[in-house]
């Protein structure tokens, strides 16, 4: 496994920039592999290049979460969105532990380039559409907190803080258990 790049902090100005089309000399295959590896390492279902500091208009995502089928979308565009919207909990690797109810179109028609530069036009529905739109927002310099009221965001941040504290306590307890197990094993020898 290559060394993992740390995720960009949520308040970084670089995440507010609208990205230009991909560089002409971009090694697409290398970037695809790096993004897929980072998405899996951080246990996400999508990852935009700018989330790890690469300012290229590209993201990876699971087109089928259950089957772990990955697609890479270079220079993505949204052709159309359904008028019907769905409200659903949404999170983001850039905002660990933060969950918000976000309304998004139920289905979309999109176009993107693959690693070879070939354009693909696809109709997406449900979770697949939601993930595409979430990652596309990163390309546009937006994030999933932008469309939520200040009150809802503040309430979610309080829950996030509690969840992160619980996670830290759990991690410390697990580390202590491991130390005790190793200590116990050394006494048995």
What tokens does 141 get? 């310099």
Tokens 């990876």 label which residue?
60
Rounded distance between C-alpha atoms, residue 165 and residue 158, angstroms? 11
Catalytic residue among 56, 90, 135, 172: 135
Is 175 catalytic? The answer is: no
Q: How far is CA 108 from CA 1, 132, 186, in A?
A: 35, 9, 59
Q: Please name the residue that has the structure tokens 């697949």.
A: 128
Our measurement of the distance from residue 78's CA atom to the centroid of its chain's CA atoms, rounded to an integer in Å, reads: 18
- Name the DSSP letter for residue 17: S
Q: How deeply is 62 buried, as exposed, middle or buried, from its count of CB atoms within 10 A (0-12, 13-18, 19+)? A: buried
Instruction: Say which DSSP state 22 is in.
Output: P
Between CA 122 and CA 109 the distance in angstroms is 6
Q: Comparing C-alpha atoms, which of 76, 68, 67 is closest to residue 49?
A: 76
Active site residues: 135
């Amino acid at each position: 496994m290559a060394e993992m790049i740390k995720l960009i902090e949520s308040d970084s100005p670089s995440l507010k920039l609208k990205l230009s089309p991909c560089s002409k000399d971009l090694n697409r295959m290398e970037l695809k592999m790096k993004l897929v590896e980072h998405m899996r390492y951080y246990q996400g279902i999508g990852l935009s290049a700018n989330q790890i500091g690469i300012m290229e208009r590209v993201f990876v995502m699971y087109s089928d979460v259950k089957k772990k089928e990955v697609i890479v979308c270079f220079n993505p565009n949204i052709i159309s969105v359904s008028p019907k919207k769905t409200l659903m909990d949404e999170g983001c690797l850039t905002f660990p532990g933060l969950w918000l109810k976000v309304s998004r179109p139920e289905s979309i028609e999109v176009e993107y380039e693959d690693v070879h530069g070939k354009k693909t036009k696809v109709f997406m529905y449900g979770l697949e559409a939601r993930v595409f739109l979430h990652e596309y927002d990163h390309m546009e310099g937006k994030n999933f907190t932008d469309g939520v009221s200040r009150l809802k965001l503040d309430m979610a941040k309080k829950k996030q803080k509690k969840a992160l504290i619980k996670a830290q306590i759990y991690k410390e307890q697990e580390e202590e258990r491991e130390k005790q197990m190793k200590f116990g094993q050394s006494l048995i020898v």
